[in-house]
Structure 1
Amino acid sequence: METNQTKRGWRDFAKLIWGTKPPVLLMSIALALSVGATLVGITIPLLTKQVVNQFSLESLDRMKLVWLGAAFIFQAVAGGVSVYLLSGAGNTIVASLRDKLWQKLLRLPIPFYDKHETGDMISRMVNDTGIVKNLVTEHLSSFITGIISIVGSIVVLLYLDWRMTLLMLLAVPLSMVVLMPLGRTMYRISKGMQEETARFTSVLTRVLSEIRLVKASNAEHVEYEQGRSGILNLLKYGMRESKVQAFVSPLIYFVLMLLFVTIIGYGGMRVSSGELTSGDLVAFILYLFQIVMPITQITQFFTQSQKAIGATERIMQTFEVAEENLTAGAPVRQLDQAIQLDRVSFGYHDEEPVLQDVSIQVPAGKVTAIVGPSGSGKTTLFSLLERFYVPQSGAIRLGEQEMEGFSLESWRSQIGYVSQESPLVAGTIRENITYGMDREVSTAELEYAARMAYADLFIRELPQQYETQVGERGIKLSGGQRQRIAIARALLRNPKVLMLDEATSSLDSRSEAVVQQALTNLMRGRTTLVIAHRLSTVVDADQIVVIEKGKVTGTGTHLELYGNHGVYREFADQQLRMQGAPQANLTT
């Protein structure tokens, strides 16, 4: 079973490397130089043997010394160039692999990220690809040249003295009996360490990205314990790895010393009896180095290869996930049609439906407000319209054509989305307003979008204006400022469909008034869906849809629903009774 798993792992590794389109010529040159250096290295003990056998100042062959020196120089130069070229090839391979993986991660659908933590993906992108790189750059060449060195040295030794060679080779199968089980153990340890590294990275990513929440909640001790647990688990795997290596290193040393004692003792006896020359014995000892040292390198290769197979398995799992096809389908051309939801049902889990038989018609160029208690499925409805998810039943149409017939890229380019959180990326205000634009944005366009979003009011007061850094997730700006930048971003896209997800719910009254003016500018002439959080956002809508527990329970204007829908009337009365409190929540 483990053998089949290893074979499959090697096939996946080869498939993964070949898929990066490796620089075959560069790697071939590097390996050729490395093989050449190894072959030259095999001749060095023979040259040394002849020098030792003729060792006297009178009979010393200077040409042999020249050849010996040339062999050393060639071996050093060829080995160094080979290492450099192979390292370059390995870095090229891992860069290509990371490029493919990064492209894959960006194209994976939202449900994938619902099930996988960010830190796990970061670990695959950085740690797992790094393990693959180390195998290619540091161990592959040593493995190939090590095999050549061992085979070549054994052939020459058999020629020199087959009895001593067979005696020496007895140690090899004995070593393999111990090394093979240790290799399988190292695979299991390495796989566990990689999984634990991914979990630990997830904890770090989550905690450090929300460090203000951690400190505000006095949760440092809680998060410390979680982090410490990950550190201790990594320590446990590290110690288990050290135990395996603690067996390997002394074993190699024991074999080396045993061979030395055997060769020197037995060889010395044969030199005394005249069966061997002193040069033969020196050659044997030098060839012993050329056999034992590569065995150590090959052992390291197999250890690292087990890690690489585990890393490959995790990377291949990511590549095997079906990605979004952004360009499949027809482009959206006629957006002056109603968006229709026809008996749409959806749940993140089959046993927990969020939306059930939802049927809504959103007229083109009109404002449709969605209201309902918290948890009724309003934001999920928006996610379906963005096509982050696919309905489990029912259909979403633009006019008479189902939404799946349009390309994702074309459909999403027509949508402007402003959420309650107004996410920003670390960078400048300019970069955040122009985020996602596939063309150069002129300064005039940028300033117009900011002006229409009432963002220019605060941007002009900043020392660096549009080049001001907003900090991670826009932390250097207030909630109202982040909202206005998000609105400016949507304005710049000039979307035909606008979706506002409680865009003013977390703002104070002054900020809300400014943002509401900006939203009015943004909504003009566009098909607009609003998740309504406040009565002021609802009363002027062309249509209001009430959703309760995932079902549509009412549709109409403010006056119509106030007259015939009890829940809506309760929401409205609650806010009307709280006159002068603009932050009253319609959904509570």
Structure 2
Amino acid sequence: MANSTQQSSLKVYLRLLRYVLPYWGLFAISILGFLIFASTQPMLGYILKFFVDGLNNPEASFFATVPYLRDIAWLSQLKLLQAVPMLIVLIALLQGIGSFLGNYFLAKVSLGLVHDMRVALFNNLLTLPNRYFDNHNSGHLISRITYNVTMVTGAATDAIKVVVREGMTVIFLFATLLWMNWQLTLVMVAILPIIGLMVVSASKKFRKQSKKIQLAMGDVTHVASETIHGYRVVRSFGGEDYEQQRFCSASTENRQKQLKMVKTNAVYTPSLQLVIYSAMAVLMFLVLLLRGDASAGDLVAYITLAGLLPKPIRQLSEVSSTVQKGIAGAESIFEQLDEAPEIDHGTQERGRVSGRLEVVNLSFQYEGTDKPVLDNISFVAEPGQMVALVGRSGSGKSTLANLIPRFYHHDQGQILLDGVDVEDYTLRDLRRHIALVTQHVTLFNDTVANNIAYGDLAGAPLDDVRKASELAYAAEFIEQMPQGYATLVGENGVLLSGGQRQRLAIARALLKDAPLLILDEATSALDTESERHIQGALDEVMKGRTTLVIAHRLSTIEKSDLILVMDKGRIVERGTHAELLALNGYYARLHEKDFVDALQPLPESAI
């Protein structure tokens, strides 16, 4: 089991490193820099040999013992007094160059990686099916793009920086120590298995705790996001205390999980240090015992180089926590990136459709539920006709509206647009033929004009935007704004009233000029006066267009060519307003109560 976990970790990590490939040139320069940096560490330690030897005889030649170099006149005259300080400065300069190349170019790789992964995640979000958003809260999705990505890049770049820089430092130091005294050096090798065992056991803990931390961070983001978006409701219903407790609870949970990881690290690092320094103590004892004919300079250099080893070894062991955090974050990122996008097997594309909508024996149930939301629905809407769907909340009206543009995928029955199954159209083309206005209006923190001319409509002439606004009765309030059509509407149109937001959404749909118009409770946020104006505009707009209206208010649907009364996912009555009133059934009862508080379940006897 542990072996398979390690294999999956390696698989995730190798996949993560693929994102570094486009930056291999910068990465190579960075690694070269760290190699230069690592090579200077034993140089600085070894130079102490000459310094200690120079204490007895500073006039001695620096290259006196080096073959070939001692034969060069000017080098042989170079004394320890001059050479040692000069070499220390040169080594420090070399170390600085290596450090700059390593850190700067790795930062370029790291920031590029953050950008690439965030863009990949965001672009992937735009392709995911509706059910994914139904099953995942926005806080965790945002946390994945902001927090998890930084954890991941730490594993892909910072960890490699430590592994290369400290790893090469250990190798260079170890090689120098072997060269100086191989017997003593082999004593240090004995502690490596102990260090290995400690690293493996800590890695498992770090990974488990990292996953919990990332989930807890998602909860913090989620609570904050909900409270910010719903601040009016929070204030009007006195929810401040509840939200404070909820946020405090999420933040405390996150803090406790972070502390647990810090505690693991805090116990693990000194334990490892104790093992390393115990080995150092044994080494010092052996150096004093077995010094042989080595000079004082040799021994000081050897002890200094051995003393430089614990720091890079400790940092190498700590890299495990960074890698495990990154792997935990990468798993959640790849889980999203591996999610299947919206199904789009369609091949049909039409320049323009007439708008004939036919629904044949349509049944549908949401994934993971047994209860059908729609049960054997059939009807036809001819071009230019207005079809209204009425019924109590939960009767399946909005689900039907969501199936037409394929926000959800249906398996039973057919939805035909101009005689072609909606499944056969490409998604992009299908949605181009449909204009959808829902009760929940989405506006962006942009100008009024850009909110109306959004997406495919971007770049539409301002005159067309004005015309759509006039038809939606939005021009009257837009033109009174400080900058008119160039006025910013605030996040989700916070600076506008509910009715104004709704009219902008209708103007957007009118500008789209699609042959099929779906109004899902589109006039619910409007006052009676605004609704009367818009109803007049809609009457004009609906000419030559198929319109599907979902509404509670009678005034919106009285003029419909066909009214479908729905209950429990089935059509229980159909006809015009007059015909349905004459039936004196479910619709007539709704009419009596004016659709306000009368949307009761249909009695079993009437089904």
- TM-score interval w.r.t. the shorter chain? over 0.9
Does the CA contact (< 8 Å) of 2:17 and 2:156 recur in 1? no
Aligned counterparts of 2:197 and 2:113: Cα–Cα separation in 1: 34
Q: How far off its partner does 1:326 sit?
A: 6.0
Aligned to 1:441: 460
Separation (CA, whole Å) in 2 of partners of 1:256 and 1:204: 45
Number of aligned residue pairs: give it: 579
1:58 maps to: 59
1:426 aligned to 2:426? no
Shift of 1:269: 4.6
Indicate the SS of the match to 2:309: helix
In the other structure, the counterpart of 2:71 is none
Instruction: Give the equivalent residue in structure 2 for 1:182.
Output: 202
The alpha-carbon deviation at position 422 of structure 1 amounts to 2.3
Post-superposition CA distance 1:219-253 (Å, at most 9, x none): 22222222222122112212211221121232244
Q: Which of the residues 255, 272, 285 maps onto 2:303?
A: 285
1:140 maps to: 160
How is 1:43-54 mapped onto 2 (pairs within 5 angstroms)?
A: 43-54=43-54
Q: Residues of 2 paired with 1:253 and 1:24: CA distance?
A: 35
How many Å separate the matches in 1 of 2:330 and 2:449?
Answer: 40
Q: Which of these residues, 126, 132, 136, is aligned with residue 112 of structure 1?
A: 132
Aligned to 1:538: 557
CA distance 1:276–1:353, shift in 2 (3 Å): same
SS at match of 2:435: strand
2:488 aligned with 1:487 = no
In structure 2, relative to structure 1, the CA distance for the partners of 1:46 and 1:235 (3 Å cut) is same
Amino acid at match of 2:2: E
Q: CA deviation at 1:571?
A: 2.0
On the 8 A contact 1:487/1:518 being kept in 2, the answer is no
Deviations 1:161-189 (A, max 9, x none): 22322333334333333332122111111
Q: C-alpha separation between the residues in 2 aligned to 1:377 and 1:342?
A: 16
Q: 2:299 & 2:171 partners in 1: Cα distance?
A: 19
For residues 397 and 501 of structure 2, the distance between their equivalents in structure 1, rounded to whole angstroms, comes to: 22
Q: Displacement, 1:377?
A: 0.7
Check conservation: 1:547, 1:554, Cα contact below 8 A: yes
Once residues 438 and 518 of structure 1 are traced to their aligned partners in structure 2, the CA distance between those partners, rounded to angstroms, is 20
Could you tell me whether the CA contact under 8 Å between 1:270 and 1:276 is conserved in 2?
no
Q: 2:519, 2:110 → 1: CA distance?
A: 48
* Amino acid of the structure 1 residue aligned with 2:58: L
Deviation at 1:388, TM superposition (A): 0.5
CA offsets 1:248-287 (integer angstroms, 9 cap, x no match)? 232244245435544444434545xx53222222222332
Q: Give the match for residue 73 of structure 2.
A: none
AA at the equivalent of 2:416 = R
User: Partner letter of residue 429 of structure 2?
Assistant: S
- Between 401-410 and 60-69, the greater mean CA deviation after superposition: 60-69
Paired residues for 1:348-497 under 5 Å:
348=366, 349-437=368-456, 439-497=458-516
Once the two structures are overlaid, the 10-residue window that deviates more, 337-346 or 97-106, is: 337-346
Distance apart, 1:75 and its partner CA: 1.3
Tell me which residue corresponds to 1:35.
35
The corresponding residue for 2:26 is 26
Deviation at 1:300, TM superposition (A): 2.1
Equivalent pair of 1:534/1:586 in contact (CA under 8 Å): no
CA distance in 2, matches of 1:584, 1:253: 73
* TM-score, normalization by structure 2: 0.90
| 1:437 counterpart SS class | helix
> Which residue of the partner structure matches residue 324 of structure 1?
342
1:426 is paired with a residue of what secondary structure?
coil
C-alpha separation in 2, matches of 1:148 and 1:548? 72
Indicate yes or no: 2:526 matched with 1:525.
no
Please give the alpha-carbon distance, in whole angstroms, between the structure 1 residues aligned to 2:551 and 2:207: 55
Q: Hey, what's the Cα distance between the residues in 2 that align with 1:455 and 1:9?
A: 56
Pick one of 348, 353, 358 that aligns with 1:340: 358
* Deviation per residue, 1:48-92 (Å, 9 max, x gap): 323432433322333455344322211111111210001101111
Structure 2: any 5+ residue segments left out of the alignment?
Answer: 61-78, 601-607
| CA distance in 2: counterparts of 1:523 and 1:287, whole angstroms | 85
Question: What letter matches 1:109 in structure 2?
Answer: P
Contact 1:267 1:276 in 2 (8 A): no
CA contact (8 A) 1:34 1:78 kept: yes
Residue type of the alignment partner of 1:366: Q
Answering whether residue 320 of structure 2 is matched by residue 302 of structure 1, we say yes
* Alpha-carbon distance in 1 for matches of 2:598, 2:512: 30
Q: Is the 8 Å Cα contact of residues 175 and 251 (structure 1) preserved in structure 2?
A: no
SS in structure 2 at match of 1:23: helix
CA 1:135–1:259 in structure 2 vs 1: closer, same or farther (change >3 Å)?
same
Give the gaps of 5 or more residues in structure 1.
Answer: 576-582
Q: CA deviation at 1:499?
A: 0.5
| Per-residue CA distance 1:317-374 (angstroms, 9 max, x = gap) | 1011100266952213452152111111112243121110111111122111111222
Cα distance in 2 between the residues matched to 1:49 and 1:332: 83
Match of 1:313 in 2: 331
Residue matched to 2:143: 123
User: In 2, are the aligned partners of 1:367 and 1:543 still within 8 Å (CA)?
Assistant: yes
Q: Distance in 2 between matches of 1:270 and 1:69?
A: 33
Instruction: Give 1:579's aligned residue.
Output: none
Is residue 566–residue 573 contact of structure 2 (8 Å, CA) maintained in 1? yes
Structure 1 residue aligned with 2:99: 79
Q: Deviations over 1:137-179 (max 9, x none)?
A: 4231121222222122222212212232233333433333333
The AA in structure 1 aligned to 2:38 is: T
> SS of 1:555's equivalent?
strand
Task: Check whether the contact 2:50–2:297 (CA below 8 A) recurs between aligned residues.
Answer: yes
For residues 163 and 21 of structure 1, the distance between their equivalents in structure 2, rounded to whole angstroms, comes to 42
Identity %: 29
CA distance in 2, matches of 1:78, 1:189: 35
The ranges of structure 1 where at least 4 consecutive aligned residues each deviate by more than 6 angstroms after the TM superposition are none
